[in-house]
Amino acid sequence: MNNFEYSNPTRLVFGKGEESRIGELMRARVPAMSPVLVVYGGGSAKESGLLERISESLKAADLVPIELGGVTPNPQLSFVQKGILLAREHRVKAILAVGGGSVIDASKAIAIGVPYVGDVWDFFTKKITPTEALPVAAVLTLPAAGSEQSIRIVISNGDRKLGAGSPLVRPFVSVIDPELFFTLPEKQIRAGVIDMMSHIMERYFTQTKNTDFVDSQAESAMKTIMKNGLKLKKNPKDYDAWCQIGLAGSFAHNGYYGLGQVEDWASHGMEHELSAWDTTITHGEGLAVVVPAWMKYVWHANPKRFVQFARNVMGVKGEGTDEEIIRKGIKAFRRFLKKMGAPKNLKELGAEKADPKELAKKAVEIPGKLGNFLPLYEKDIVKIYKLMR
């Protein structure tokens, strides 16, 4: 295990009805009479009455809500820039995200953009590092990205999709009310479940040795996610299953499952190119296509770790060579994805026309390579995209 630092200061407020406390919760950090930018996505937050309840809660706590809707999946730089201008105009003192990962990421980007004199895109091209940000709070409506407890942001600029991170944008409070997930469409449930699985996998597949404790935590979390994900496929109003998924998804991306180990993140890198190529592709569905192909390409870099995955996570029993056990493990994982209804190749994802060479070229353009389990260069990535056909 490697040396590490960890803390998880986000105040997580979990359970039915808790979003009605958001005003009071924000006041712990934001002075009375402060304007608060309330960022949301489509019409559902408005139609369901959620935005109104939140607005009332803010007003009751002497805060002034300024609403900004219209965040899209794979949120765009242009939206963020619009949000920054609006936030400056109203002199907002904090950002409240009401939504899933896209809304929270857009809110985080606005939060670092408001006090910065240059273009907020500079943070994503790594031109500069954030030193200041407005405080961010979140009411989660879609458990998937784990952005409600994370320091990460992903923003798209046309067909460029880049990530940035700073402890400054970690929400100081996040509300997770599993009842808010009851109306999610099947596709969103599936994408969310796969996204949180992959957040754990990006950490679990490591070359770092002696990570016994974190391994065992990650393995049991992945099993719990799969079990409860399938329950939600059958009944999207299963409060108890949503509790497990809401909790697991949030911890999946706060750093806990990567303590003391080198993480990978190649699959996320490859998926980002797909959903940048076509921004209507849902990140979690893209991952369902990318991750099994990645597994097939990289397992030989550490067969022991993939045997452990097959045995401890996918429950593969019986004798066999390492390769046989590993292939059974990957097959079992694909079976799970199929049961969730996920696309199994680029065609089903609607990306059969994307050019592997173009995607690979863009994937390594800034980082040079992807991943650490097996460092992947442009030629490797072309091959992996081809495996997705």
Strands 160-165 and 152-157: antiparallel
In the numeric block, the tokens 């979990």 are attached to 14
Contact indicator for 373, 264 with CB cutoff of 8 Å: yes
Output the six-digit token pair for 349.
Answer: 């994802």
Give least dist CB 261 to its own copies, A.
11
Those residues with Cβ within 8 angstroms of residue 365's Cβ, 6 or more apart along the chain or in another chain: none
| Residue 347 makes contact with its own copies by CB under 8 A | no
20 sits near its own copies (criterion: CB under 8 A): no
Q: What are the strands of the beta sheet with 136-140, ordered from one edge? A: 64-68, 35-40, 94-99, 136-140, 173-176
Q: How far is the CB of 251 from its own copies (least distance, A)?
A: 8
- State yes or no: residue 26 binds its own copies (CB under 8 A): no
Q: Which of 55, 206, 228, 282 binds its own copies (CB under 8 A)?
A: 228
4 touching its own copies, by CB under 8 A: yes
Q: Which residue from 193, 214, 298, 310 is in contact with its own copies, where contact means CB under 8 A? A: 214
Q: Which residues contact 139 (CB under 8 A, 6 or more apart)?
A: 19, 22, 50, 54, 96, 97, 98, 99, 174, 175, 177, 180
- Pick out residues in 246-305 that bind its own copies (CB under 8 A): 247-248, 259-260
- For its own copies, which is the closer residue by CB, 5 or 319? 5
* Residue pair 312/219 in contact by the 8 Å Cβ criterion: yes
Residue found under tokens 């924000």: 26
* Residue 219 interacts with its own copies (CB under 8 A): yes or no: yes
Q: Which of residues 114 and 169 has its CB atom nearest to its own copies in the complex?
A: 169
Site for its own copies in 348-387 (CB under 8 A): none
Q: Confirm or reject binding of residue 223 to its own copies (CB under 8 A).
A: yes
Quick one: CA dihedral 374, 377, 383, 388, positive or negative?
A: positive
CB 198 within 8 A of CB 269: no
Q: Determine if 168 is a binding residue for its own copies (CB under 8 A).
A: no
The number of residues in the chain equals 389
By CB under 8 A, name the one of 15, 69, 70, 375 that touches its own copies: 15
Lookup: tokens for 108? 């985080």
Number of residues that bind its own copies (CB under 8 A): 39
Binding-site member from 210, 323, 377, 389 for its own copies (CB under 8 A):
210
Q: In the numeric block, which tokens belong to residue 362?
A: 């863009």
The DSSP H or E segment spanning 127 is: none
47, 59, 89, 213: which one contacts its own copies (CB under 8 A)? Answer: 213
Residue 344 burial (CB count, 10 A): 14
CB of 131 to its own copies, least distance (A): 16
224 binds its own copies (CB under 8 A): yes
Residue of 36, 120, 136, 221 that binds its own copies (CB under 8 A): 221
Could you tell me which stretch among 7-15, 38-46, 90-98, 192-200 binds its own copies (CB under 8 A)?
7-15
Choose between 1 and 366: whose C-beta lies nearer to its own copies. Answer: 1
DSSP 71: P
Among 54, 145, 243, 290, binds its own copies (CB under 8 A): 243
Exposed / middle / buried, residue 249 (Cβ in 10 Å: 0-12, 13-18, 19+): buried
Name 377's Cβ contacts closer than 8 Å, sequence gap at least 6. Answer: 364, 369
Is residue 234 a contact residue for its own copies (CB under 8 A)?
Answer: no
240 binds its own copies (CB under 8 A): yes
Q: Which residues make up the interface to its own copies (CB under 8 A)?
A: 1-18, 209-210, 212-214, 216-217, 219-221, 223-224, 227-228, 240, 243-244, 247-248, 259-260
